[in-house]
Chain A
Amino acid sequence: MARNAAFEVLYREYYARVHGLCRRLLGTGDLAEDAVQETFMRAYRNFRKYDPSLPFWQWIAAIANNYCIDLLRKKTKTQALFGEESVEAESIVDADGSQPVAEVIAAQDADRLQAAVLDLPPKYRVPVVLAYFSQLSYDEIAEQLNISRNHVGVLLLRAKQQLRGALSDPAGEESGGQA
């Protein structure tokens, strides 16, 4: 019983962050709630595996990442959720050009940026969330997604390019911040 009570404290403390992570990874609030519950249940069942010397957030975020990525893989009909590295790299050369960089994003409010991230396809959204929300290193992301480190870099670059495109599009401002 004491363990249950202790875990409920952890649940209340980390609920918002786990929910935020799941929502960003899955791109929708509907699935995120279920993912949060599943994440905490898995954490509860495997609590004996938790190393107290590490931050609890790091551990539970890894569980949430695993679960959400598995969910995305199941929902994706094709085998390679994160695409082929070479194909992605080719499109960088075509799309990069001399697009605005900081000016576009820095000027946006956080809600529009969040909405734009949620609108990204999963293959770009997941690395972005892992890199800028969970703040994992490229190596950690590569291990998590079972792709190469360079592939992570390519996906992130493509993601940022898409974000810039979406944020610089005036039509997008109408729906921004509502997701």
Chain B
Amino acid sequence: MSKLSPLEVSMLADNALSDEARKIAEEQLEASETDRARLDALLVEREAMIAALAVEPLTEEIDIPAPRFAKTMSLRGFAMANVVTGLVIWGAQFLWKTLFGELVVNATTWFTSIYLPDVYEMTRTTTLFLFEEGATMIDAYMSFIVACVVTVAMLWIAVVYRRSRVSISVCVLVASLGITLQSAPVQALDVRNSEGVLTIPASETVDDTLIVAGERIVIAGTITGDVIAAGRNIEVSGTVGGNLLTFGEMVELSGSVGGFALGGVSTYEIEGGSVAGDLWVGAETVSVDSDSTVGRNVTTAVRLSSVDGSVGRDYYVFGETAELNGQVQGNVEFFGNRVYLLDEAVVGNSVRIRSGNPDALHQADSAEVQGEVEFLDLPEEFEQRSPYATLGFYLWQLGYLIGAFLVGIGLLWLVPGLREVSLNTGSEGLKTAGIGFLAFVSIPAMAVLVAITVVGLPIAFIGMAAWLLGWYLSKVVVGYMIGQMVIGDKDSTPISLLVGLGIVVVVINIPFIGGILSFLLTVIGLGLIVQYLMGAIPARDYAEA
């Protein structure tokens, strides 16, 4: 009579039972001759199988051609090497600027300034030097220390988690961004803000790009780089070597701008000023007085646009009313209700008026148009047309599909673990969507909170960049997942991705509900990415042994 199960006898023969189970089994064997016979047979069988499966040792010398053992540089390695090279170059530039530019040069300047002076002069010079350069030096020291800490931390993480390709990629990326952002303020950025009046006096020259924010901003000095200004009133009477970007209520430009000028304000006035490049303004009113010049095109989107000065090329107006009492070398193109060519107006080429109003043009007798005056219909884009009836829509969607496909191939190649993401159950889908929605809401909120502090500003930038990247990649990830569900073949990554992205493109363009579906797919994709990064979706470690 058998007292042991077949499994117990089999495991006993393979010596795989635990000590306790083995003891019990052996007691049972004492009482059952059948089991003892079965065990003996299985032991013989085990030896027979081991003998049969064993590989015969080579009895004679056979020349086995060995492959060429060398670490080949894969495309992935090449890409990584490029990233690392970029990082090293950034690091070198940063160190050069920090160590040489700020530490060595400043220290040398300081030393030479106090060479053989009397005590009073030395104290005065030292104090003045520290007062003027101290903040920059401390900033440089701190940046250097922070960069070192970030780099060491990243290297440590890369060493600890060296078996994960993703962690190394992320570490390198973060270190690169960190060092870039750290070096940026030292190299070419001057950030100033004030709750009251912020003035760059005429005697001051800023050799970097200047970012200013304040209630009232007065720039009378010289800025060699770009100026980005945000404030209620912005007055630029000095010289801007680069571009001028202004955001606020009122801008008065009486100085000169070497590049282009771009403004998003209520009132934009150029009085005796000059812009060497283009002028782009979105405002309530824009005026360029007779003493002002714009070297290239003027493009305005306004209620009232008035140009009395000189425009080097074309003058485009999108708005209610346009007035020209100056000189335009090229064309005037007007989209709106009324255009006035006043007494002093000179147009070097044609005037094109795109308006539904045939009486839109009011031309003074002395106004001169050297080309033709044309009345044209509104472009098709201005008419209410279904986007689905345009070729451009489909070309755009095709471009999006191709772009997303290429990005997806690269992403899944760099992060193969993302190929494993899936939603096996409905509840898992809800959970993923919840996590995605949380990431969607919380990351920008945290970025805003962190950005309040100067130290947190780079972190906020990185966070928002990651958020935007995740926003884009979410559809790629969810598209691949859908493609896998449709194709059902994990080996055909490109086909799954293409099919999935095709479905996503179609779904998000369904009339009326496409927007909602697009949002849902995005939060699910974000949720999958977040879960993967947090390790909730495990990827098999392909590292050996």
Contacts and interface: CB of A to CB of B under 8 A. Distances in A.
B3 interface: no
B343 interface: no
Interface string A65-98: 0110010001001000000000001001000100
Contacts of B42: 101-102
A37 B67 contact: yes
B544 A62 contact: yes
A138 B16 CA distance: 6
Interface in B1-58: 6-7, 10-11, 14, 16, 38, 40-42, 44-46, 48-58
Contacts of A154: 7
Contact of B67 (A20, A40, A92): A40
A42 B544 contact: yes
Chain B interface helix/strand/loop/mixed: loop
Contacts of A35: none
Contacts of A63: 544-545
B51 A110 contact: yes
Interface in A79-125: 89, 92, 96, 101-103, 105-106, 108, 110, 113-114, 117
Contacts of A3: 69
Interface in A129-179: 129, 131-133, 135, 137-138, 149-150, 152-154, 156-157, 160
Contacts of A43: 544
Contacts of B51: 110
B66 interface: yes
Counting chain A residues whose Cβ lies within 8 A of the other chain, the interface size class is 35 or more
Contact of B53 (A49, A129, A137): A129
Interface string B506-545: 0000000000000000000000000000000000101111
A4 interface: yes
B71 interface: yes
Contact of B64 (A15, A89, A132, A156): A15
Given A16-B58, A110-B51, A8 B544 contact: no
A100 to B, nearest CB: 8
A128 B64 CA distance: 28
Given A117-B53, A132-B49, A133-B53, A4 B544 contact: no
Contacts of B491: 74
B434 to A, nearest CB: 25
Interface string A10-33: 011001110111001000000000
B49 A105 contact: yes
B490 interface: yes
Contacts of A70: 540, 542
A175 B12 CA distance: 33
Contacts of A157: 6-7, 10
Given A46-B544, A74-B491, A137-B16, A153 B10 contact: yes
B8 to A, nearest CB: 9
A92 B8 CA distance: 12
Nearest to B42: A101
A138 B14 contact: yes
Contacts of A153: 7, 10-11, 14, 16
A106 B64 CA distance: 34
B42 to A, nearest CB: 6
A113 B16 contact: no
Interface in B447-502: 488-491
A101 B67 CA distance: 44
A92 B6 contact: yes
A133 B54 contact: yes
B70 interface: yes
A96 to B, nearest CB: 4
A132 to B, nearest CB: 4
Contact of A49 (B46, B489, B545): B545
Contacts of A77: 488-489
A71 B58 CA distance: 28
Contacts of B38: 101
B55 A17 contact: yes
Contacts of A114: 52-53
Contacts of B11: 138, 153
B544 A102 contact: no
A106 B10 contact: no
Contacts of A11: 64, 66-67, 69
A87 to B, nearest CB: 14
A41 B69 CA distance: 7
Nearest to B58: A16
A157 to B, nearest CB: 4
Nearest to A51: B545
A106 B48 contact: yes
Nearest to B56: A16
19 contacts: A7-B69, A8-B66, A11-B66, A11-B69, A24-B53, A46-B544, A62-B544, A66-B545, A70-B542, A92-B6, A101-B42, A102-B44, A108-B52, A113-B52, A149-B16, A153-B7, A153-B10, A156-B10, A157-B6
Given A16-B57, A40-B67, 18 more contacts: A11-B64, A11-B67, A11-B69, A15-B64, A43-B544, A44-B71, A45-B71, A101-B38, A101-B41, A102-B40, A102-B42, A102-B45, A103-B41, A106-B48, A131-B14, A132-B53, A138-B16, A152-B16
In the A-B complex, the 7 residue pairs with the smallest Cβ-Cβ separation, listed nearest first, are A102-B41, A101-B41, A20-B55, A110-B52, A138-B16, A113-B52, A8-B66
